[in-house]
Amino acid sequence: MALIRFVSNGQIVLQSIVSSDGRMPTVLSVARQAGVGVLFNCEVGDCAACIVGVRTLHAPAQGVFPLTDKERFLLRAMGRLTDADIADADAGRRPANVRLACQYRVGDEDIIVDYGHAMGGG
């Protein structure tokens, strides 16, 4: 089971519980189903419109869904993740704190997704 808190401008907009039935929906699909206004465009990891800040409060034993190649490329090119951030995420030492909502699939983690913060460029 995943617990996702969507936050914008410091305010919790919505808490969503995603049952772990093996589907592993993307953060973007959870947001869209719940009516949370995470921006998006391409939905395939090419445009970066859906950048969100992510704070992982609890990660499942097997770790969170790994960064996709598109996330590595775009977020590094935009200066949102460093090589060290990516190495830490890949090694399971520290989940990435910026993701593409259309690429990040949730399993059994407890996370805060900040889409207002991400839009502000911080």
Chain residues that interact with ligand FES, rule: CB under 6 A: 40-43, 45-50, 100, 102
- Quote the least distance from Cβ 61 to ligand FES, whole Å: 28
**Total residue count of the chain as it appears in this document:** 122
Q: Which helix (H) or strand (E) holds 55?
A: strand 51-58
7 to each of 35, 67, 82, 118, how far by Cα in Å?
13, 21, 24, 10
Other residues' Cβ atoms within 10 Å of the Cβ of residue 30 = 22
Tokens read off for 119: 């839009």
**Closer residue to ligand FES in complex, CB, 20/41:** 41
**Closer residue to ligand FES in complex, CB, 104/112:** 104
**Closer residue to ligand FES in complex, CB, 10/79:** 79
- Quote the least distance from Cβ 69 to ligand FES, whole Å: 13
- Quote the least distance from Cβ 41 to ligand FES, whole Å: 5
